[in-house]
Amino acid sequence: MRLCRVVGPMWAAVKHPAFSGRTLLVVQPLDEQGADSGASFVAVDTAQAGTGDRVIVLVEGNGARQILRGKDLPIRSVIVGVVDAVDTDQGPVPMARGAS
């Protein structure tokens, strides 16, 4: 699981029915201070996340299929929660939308 920031929605022509009605969001991985860390990728939203939200993204096919309740879904990356804060030994880092 990675801590990510929602960059925004992606508009695309995807014919496979597994994607119909699902929101595709581009997400940017972050480090625990909220700074960008690594390459952005595309995830399916299940947490009503919006642009700028810090989120937890699960990156594994079997787990994604459990979350989305479908055995045959060709989907691997799923946003499972919206993050409020991370406690570090330098103190808490707020992660709510608009923070830092």
- Report the SS3 class of residue 42: strand
Shortest distance (Å) from residue 70 CB to its own copies: 10
Shortest distance (Å) from residue 17 CB to its own copies: 11
- Report the SS3 class of residue 15: coil
- The Cα–Cα gap between 44 and 20 comes to 11
Q: Which residues pair with 25 in a beta bridge?
A: 9, 43
**Per CB under 8 A, 100 contacts its own copies:** no
> Which residues from 5-44 bind its own copies, rule CB under 8 A?
7-16, 18-19, 24, 26, 28-29, 31-32, 37-43
- Report the SS3 class of residue 21: coil
Query: In terms of residues, how long is the chain?
Result: 100
In the bound state with its own copies, the residue whose beta carbon lies nearer, of 13 and 21, is: 13
| DSSP assignment letter at 72 | T
> Which residues from 57-96 bind its own copies, rule CB under 8 A?
58-64, 66-67, 72-78, 80-89
Question: What residues make contact with its own copies under the rule CB under 8 A?
Answer: 1-3, 7-16, 18-19, 24, 26, 28-29, 31-32, 37-43, 46-47, 51-52, 56, 58-64, 66-67, 72-78, 80-89
